[in-house]
Amino acid sequence: MATRSMRGIYKPRKLFNLSVTIDDPTISPLPKNPKLALSDPNWKSAMQSEFDALIRNNTWDLVPRPSDVNIIRCMWIFSHKTKANGCFERYKAHLVGDGRSWPIHQLDVQNAFLHGDLHETIYMHQPLGFCDRTHPDYVCRLRKSLYGLKQAPRAWYQRFADYVSTIGFQHSTSDHSLFIYRRGSDMAYLLLYVDDIILISSSHDLRKSIMALLASEFAMKDLGPLSYFLGIAVTRHAGGLFLSQSTYARDIIARAGMTSCNPSATPVDTKQKLSTSAGTLCDDPTLYRSLAGDLQYLTFTRPDISYVVQQVCLHMHAPRTEHMLALKRILRYVQGTLQFGLHLYPSPIEKLISYTDANWGGCPDTRRSTSGYCVFLGDNLISWSSKRQPTLSRSSAEAEY
């Protein structure tokens, strides 16, 4: 065997920097601490904007520090706000409490959690870089909820739900994030996810009326027609809508280090199902669990990988080499089908059709069966699942039943 050093071939050792960087030199990178952020005009402006919003919403009162209470800490969280195509949009600074960040016509509620009223007494240190000069030893007694507080999501949701009920919306019985408006022939659906809102209405005038009412109560930003929501890109075409997670899928493949991998024609082979004892234990179980979880979210627009993702997720507690190979095969299949997604078409909705099937005793470890179904409302696929059955079936008929 001839090595490079034996032939006198030497190459400099390259140390790779795995930290996130910004390609555009004109964009300030994420600051490592608030002091560095305050020295950068871009980040200082973002912090000032956040602080002004907090003061404008009467988020706290400055009071003398009580001696017998716990004072929670606060910290600044910095991020680059990007558009749907990944381009830089603006600098974003969030003040969060207790050191925790919480993580379509389309609307965005600005400083959503600040609208929630607190019913508990909570004290917080003054924000670093914005301490009151006349009372530097005072602390903030919170009047409104703040990002990072465990009470914040509940307080904001209750505040929002109480208000929309006064303008005619009612909770959906199946999903409490969905609010429904009915007045004669007028109908509207409002879906809330933290501070992101999708609003669908039966008429243009109704939509404008609802948006005006919401804007009178909350600081709202109209993001225009639905285009990008929770990592899902929405493209309008002549026939309807196309939902895609291609950017998210590329990110998964990149984090797996498989950007240049060859695509696979199918996500799974026809071999016997994976066993819990297949191969040796995986060298990096954390990476396996992370990628498997990411693929679960990808099934929101990719029903074609639901079955095989369910299979690899069965072994997240103790992944082995064979399981990792199966997961990488899914990624190679996704690499070749990045353009795949979910189409939604206008169609009559008087028909609700479900297709279901099951294998019998397919699990090599427990001999339990796997069920799968998909449901169509008109021509649109609205629900699908692949799941191992909780009980053991004694026949194929029982498994399918």
Q: Is the pTM of this model over 0.95?
A: no
Q: Supply the pLDDT for residue 101.
A: 32
Query: Six-digit token pair at 87?
Result: 């381009």
Long-range CB pairs of 241-245, under 8 A, 24+ apart, other chains included:
241/343, 241/344, 242/341, 242/342, 242/343, 242/344, 243/301, 243/341, 243/342, 243/343, 243/344, 244/301, 244/339, 244/340, 244/341, 244/342, 245/297, 245/298, 245/300, 245/301, 245/302, 245/341
Separation of CA 49 from chain center: 25
Q: Supply the pLDDT for residue 70.
A: 62
> What is the secondary structure of 193-209 as a DSSP string?
ETTEEEEEESSHHHHHH
Q: Tens-of-pLDDT digits for all 401 residues of the chain?
A: 677 777 777 666 554 444 444 456 778 888 878 888 999 999 999 999 988 988 888 888 888 888 776 677 787 878 888 776 668 888 888 787 654 632 258 888 876 666 666 777 888 888 888 889 888 889 988 887 777 677 777 778 888 889 999 999 999 988 889 999 998 878 889 998 887 889 988 888 888 899 999 988 888 888 888 888 888 898 877 667 899 999 999 999 999 999 999 999 999 887 767 788 878 888 889 999 999 999 999 999 999 999 999 989 988 888 989 899 999 999 999 999 999 999 887 776 678 899 999 988 888 888 889 899 999 988 889 999 999 898 888 888 888 88
